[in-house]
Structure 1
Amino acid sequence: MASKKAKKSSGQRAGDKKERSPARWRKYVAPVVTGLTLMLIAYVFYLDVNVREQFEGKRWAVPASVYARPLELYPGMRLTRQQLLDELHSLGYQRGPSADGVGSFKVEGRHVTLVTRPFQFWDGQEASRRIELSFEDASLGGIRDIPGNQPLPLVRLEPQLIAKIYPGHNEDRILVRLDQVPQALITALLATEDRNFYQHHGVAPLSILRAAWVNLRARRTVQGGSTLTQQLVKNFYLTNERTLWRKINEAIMALLLEFHYDKDEILEAYLNEIYLGQDGQRSIHGFGLAARFYFGRPLQELRLSQLAMLVGMVKGPSYYDPRRHPERATARRNLVLRSLAKQQLIDEEQLQTASGEGLGVVPGTPSGITRYPAFMELVRRQLYRDYRDDDLRSDGMQIFTTLEPVAQA
């Protein structure tokens, strides 16, 4: 009997031990959850500090720009009509039957009508103006302001860019403000890359699920679910590695970016940061530089077809490189245009006109090669005597020289 009781007591203790085990583990759950929560909060705080420090500090290292002399036009100066046309050609002005847009000109006999570009000179901002120049044999006879029909004593054309001094990472960009960007570019970009940009808070779960479903059905990646904010975070803060951890960081940082900054500020940063091509060792970043690199003109002067091509390149700058793969670039551009028409953002006439145009890409030039190497060597020597290397390579300095590009040609 005693033996049976002992066995029974032993069985009861084993059962009690089993019953107490879950309770013993439960008392550890709360501290573990609390610890993990505190770790998550600390990590989000760490990401938040990084997001704000980089976004509010010096965002980009902008190379110094070296310019030739600006051409100053005044009545009586020795200048032939052909010399002026050569200067306008080197500056990328477009000749046509009328001179209506900035950077355009027309020729009628001894008269040249042109619309100058605005430019920030060393002594202040020079506004765009529409003028007519009259030539007499080998000299400039007179300058007339067309809207006011008044004679002008002096007009300056913007100088030709002859070289740049790049930062160590070889990134190049021309910074643009949001109010300088054509509305057609913003419309095309949002319609193509992020239709709900002004509605979401940095991450669009429905877009991610829709893209995942489309990609699953196609058995390959045909659609992305990242918002513009996520794309900015990836390019500005993170690397291109394809890992789940990077995607988690990207989503958290996108939410933080949207929490601290308004949509327009984020969009402006995206327009200046996005990678749009490679020129040898030089990386082409931002739509401002891409306009110059592919079309030889400022962003504000591009046509709808050209803007659509740049927007189409966001998906793959190398794959849709218009110089190496013009057929792909054209097809992608036309897809962007059709998307705009489908969303009723452009009409049928605009669609047909823009789709029928050629790409209009200017020939590429060797990366980092200046047409004036001997002159630039003298300029560099003088600059490095007076300035720090970091200032020349990252502060976006404007350096004006006395070089006469027409005489050197």
Structure 2
Amino acid sequence: MAKPVRRRPLQRRRRFGGFLLRWVLLALIGLGLVGTLYSVHLDRIVRAKFEGQRWALPARVYARPLELYLGRPLFADQLEGELDRLNYRRVETPTLPGHYHREGDRFLVNTRSFRFWDGEEPARRLEIRLRDGQVADLADAAGGFSPALVRIEPMLIANIYPTHNEDRVLVRRKDLPDLLVAGLIAVEDRSFYRHLGVDPRGIARAAYSNLRAGGVVEGASTLTQQLVKNFYLTADRTFERKINEALMALLLERRYGKDEILEAYANEIYLGQDGSRAIHGFGLASRFFFNKSLSELSVPETALLVGIVQAPSTLDPRRRPEAALSRRNLVLDLMARDNVISSDVAESAKRTPLGLAEGGGRPVGNYPDFVSLVRRQLQRDYRDEDLRSEGLQIFTTLDPLVQSVVEQSLPTQLAELETSRRMTPGTLEVATVVTSVAQGEVLALAGGREPGFAGFNRALDSVRSIGSLVKPAIYLAALAQPQRYGLTTNLQDSPVNLRVGNDTWSPQNYDRRVHGAVPLHRALSSSLNLATVNLGLSLGLTEVTETLYRLGVQRNIVRVPAMLLGAVSMSPLEVAQIYQTIAAGGYRAPLRAIREVVDANGRPLNRYPLSVEQAVDPHAAYLTTWAMERVVTHGTARWLGSQLPKDLRMAGKTGTTDDMRDSWFAGFSGDKVAVVWVGRDDYQPMGLAGGTGALRVWGDLMLALPNESIPRDPPDGVVAGSGDAPPYVAGTRPPSGRQEGGDEGTGTPRQDVVQAAAEATPEPSSSSEDRSPRRAPERQNHFLSDFFSR
């Protein structure tokens, strides 16, 4: 009997095959689930960054724009200097934005468009004629009309970079030149508008082209893959990174349109290094390499930017010009191959040099002292991280024309002063603040004799005794009481001896003489110490102090008799606030360095509007200004008066502290206020009074600027004197020879004021808050010293 055939192995194999198939299917399902979950994870990453804040953008700080209008004071060399600072190119025939032509005082200027806080300023073709130092004709040569006002784009003066030091200038897709886009696609991704993120045909084509050329001429990655690598991933050459790159490129293409991807690519791509600053995006690269906007690029310049994309480090045109030139010419050939340009244009472009420009993309000027003031004012409204990431545009009040005059004047004048006193060069230091009268805008600021050096900022942080600069506040306080004081009121320039604690305070005049009864205006113009002290004691220290606060002083003032001769310590910026209020007729405008702040999309954020309030009596401010004009024409600043044109009126006050440690001059024209301090950081005497030191610096810089004259018309209620006679408040002019002020018209201090002064705690003339680099030795009873202030 035959034995049955055994089928167990076959059954086993079938069962095993089914078992394996099930596991394979389960594994595939599991891998598919994992892949799906991973894709969802990657998709979230793609969307989160692409739809959120894509970049940490630096804050950009701009100077004021140059405003052109008929009658604006402006010389031809100043206009050309401004255009040069803005990287305009002087050519025979202006055809592009950023070009200009000059013939004597006639300019043809093709301006660039610029988005200000209040709207877009379009590009224009201007014809400008200057005559006698002002704009005589202004016409839009393209439109055939005369605009009332044109703003040239402002100068970039500072960047506040993100912590990783990336920098970029954002550009929209519509702002990318067609030539740049076509060249980029011809070289980097010929199928960009056809593939879905990854291009297998492109990989094969690139491999073939590279094989034929014997080197890398085309990349295998699509633009989308390059964006993913730069935007989301690292440059590590790993299989995992390539898989992520391909997946994320597919997801990116699924979520967003080609133009959105191209715009992000154009802003993200790394194109070079400027020290610690990384250059990202074509917008900044165009400025960095050529000092031009993208719209101004020529064919060879465009080809160079496209060529650098492949290897920014090895193709850096400044460090490796031969390699960059070779790559640029290859790009020109590829552009001609794809009919982006003609062969003739390509051959012509190959014969041009690289045409690199220095300093592109960086701030045009170096103004660390002014930018320090800007940052301090910004800190009231913004966090530091906002300034380093939100792409804010900060429009400031800096006037480059005024700042350039300041920077030219300071080292020259200090060198002359040092020579005249046989000092070692570099002994003296200086601080300067220039503001506008009406708006309270800081136009220029220098914290030392080298304004571009980011060191100790004396204009903001050097708190020194101000000497006789305090006197106009005292006389203004008196003139605010017209029933008691007028410009012709006689004051007693008589000895003062006050018991303060265990000491006696006995100030003296600069000439150590006693002048008896003198008119109030002469006491100020001649800076008579004794007359000022008697007047201040008659008014009361509280009234004088409150007047200083109304004029804009914010720091605490210790009320002691010595404050009447300048034992009050302030920075030059604080002094500028006091004199701005007087110059503005008693209307205080808090000094500001910022006009507007807008976000990366051009939307206005915090505004810094002009804020003006009446702080002191306008009548008293006018009369004080008249007396300060006499300081210039008849008093301690007569040197300045001898330099002024006949029709230009200025006012000011000299200031000197004891032993001539500090030399000051503060003054104003009809439209500008300027304060100059000269001294030594070690507090040693220098032998320069206000009239022989700071005044010379002040006069040199202010006379180099266009100035309006102080208005002659008095406010309502003030009667102008005939001829050279002082003006007075209507109904209060004292009879000739009458003495007012003090008890019973004697011009002497009231006894209650003397008693209050004697009980006061003395303050040294050098404030305990002084923050200069080197401290002076402690000086006991310094308030007793003579403030020989002129």
TM-score, normalized by length of structure 1?
Answer: 0.91
| Higher mean displacement: 271-280 or 208-217 | 208-217
Aligned to 1:190: 185
Match of 1:284 among 269, 279, 286: 279
Q: Higher mean Cα deviation, 253-262 or 360-369?
A: 360-369
Q: What is residue 179 of structure 1 aligned with on the other side? A: 174
Instruction: Name the amino acid aligned to 2:99.
Output: S
Q: 1:78 to 1:212 in 2, by over 3 A?
A: same
Does 2:48 match 1:53? yes
* 2:275 matches 1:242: no
Report the Cα offset of residue 80 of structure 1: 1.0
Residue aligning to 1:36: 31
Identity in percent: 52
Instruction: Identify the residue that residue 121 of structure 2 maps to in structure 1.
Output: 126
Residues 304 and 381 of structure 1, relative CA distance in 2, 3 Å threshold = same
What one-letter code is carried by the residue in structure 2 that aligns with 1:398? Q
Larger CA deviation: 380-389 vs 111-120: 380-389
Give the alignment partner of residue 400 of structure 1, picking from 395, 408, 412.
Answer: 395
Q: Who is 1:225 aligned against?
A: 220
Answer yes or no: is 1:135 the counterpart of 2:130. Answer: yes
Distance 1:19 1:150 in 2: 94
1:198 maps to amino acid: Y
What per-residue deviation string (whole Å, max 9, x for no partner) do you get for residues 243-299 of structure 1?
111111111111111111111111111111111111111111110011111111211
Q: Which moved more, 1:345-354 or 1:382-391?
A: 345-354
Q: Report the CA distance shift for 1:157/1:365 in structure 2 as closer, same or farther (over 3 A).
A: closer
The one-letter code sitting in structure 1 at the alignment partner of 2:138 is I
Tell me how far 1:26 sits from its aligned partner: 3.1
Bigger relative contact order, structure 1 or 2, given CA contacts below 8 A and separation 6+? 1
CA drift of 1:368 comes to 8.5
Partner of 1:386, secondary structure, is coil
Question: How far does the alpha carbon of each residue in 1:9-64 deviate from its partner, in whole angstroms, 9 at most, with x for none?
Answer: 9x986786566444433332222221111111111111111111211111111111
Q: 1:183 to 1:19 in 2, by over 3 A?
A: closer
Look up the match of 1:355: 350
The Cα shift of 1:212 comes to: 4.5
Distance (whole Å) between structure 1 residues aligned to residue 14 and residue 292 of structure 2: 79
What letter corresponds to residue 141 of structure 1 in structure 2? A
What is the deviation of 1:133? Answer: 0.5
- The one-letter amino acid paired with 2:390 is D
1:354-382 Cα distance to aligned partner (Å, 9 max, x none): 22222221124797996111111121122
Does the Cα contact within 8 Å between 1:280 and 1:367 map onto a contact in 2?
Answer: no
Please give the TM-score of this superposition, normalised by the length of structure 2.
0.49
Equivalent residues of 2:187, 2:218 under 8 A apart: no
Q: Tell me if structure 2 keeps the 8 A contact 1:191–1:340.
A: yes
1:262-273 pair list within 5 angstroms = 262-273=257-268
SS at match of 1:271: helix
1:222, CA displacement in angstroms? 5.8
Deviates more, 1:398-407 or 1:356-365: 356-365
1:383 paired with 2:359, answer no
8 Å CA contact 2:85, 2:364 repeated in 1:
no
Q: Is the 8 A contact 1:279 1:367 kept in 2?
A: no
Deviations along 1:92-131, one digit per CA (max 9) or x if unpaired, are 1111111221111111232100111111112211111111
| Structure 1 gap segments, 5+ residues each | none
What's the secondary structure of 2:388's corresponding residue? Answer: helix
What whole-Å deviation, never above 9, does each CA across 1:306-335 have from its counterpart, x for those lacking one?
A: 111101100011111111111221111111
- Name the structure 2 match of 1:87: 82
Question: Relative to total residues, which structure has the larger helix share, 1 or 2?
Answer: 1
**Secondary structure of the residue that 2:139 maps to in structure 1?**
strand
Letter aligned with residue 52 of structure 2? G
Residues 1:137 and 1:402: Cα distance change in structure 2 (over 3 Å)? same
Q: Tell which structure's C-alpha radius of gyration is larger.
A: 2
Please tell me the root mean square deviation across aligned C-alpha atoms, in Å: 2.4
Q: Once structures 1 and 2 are overlaid, which stretch shifts more, 388-397 or 17-26?
A: 17-26
Contact 1:280 1:366 (8 Å CA) reproduced:
no
- What is the rounded CA distance, in whole Å, between the counterparts of 1:19 and 1:151 in structure 2? 95
Instruction: Tell me if the contact between 1:68 and 1:162 (Cα under 8 Å) persists in the aligned partners.
Output: yes
Q: 2:302 aligns with which of 295, 300, 307?
A: 307
- Report the alpha carbon displacement of residue 145 of structure 1 after superposing the two structures with TM: 1.5
339-348 vs 187-196, which deviates more?
339-348
Secondary structure (helix, strand or coil) at the match of 2:61 reads strand
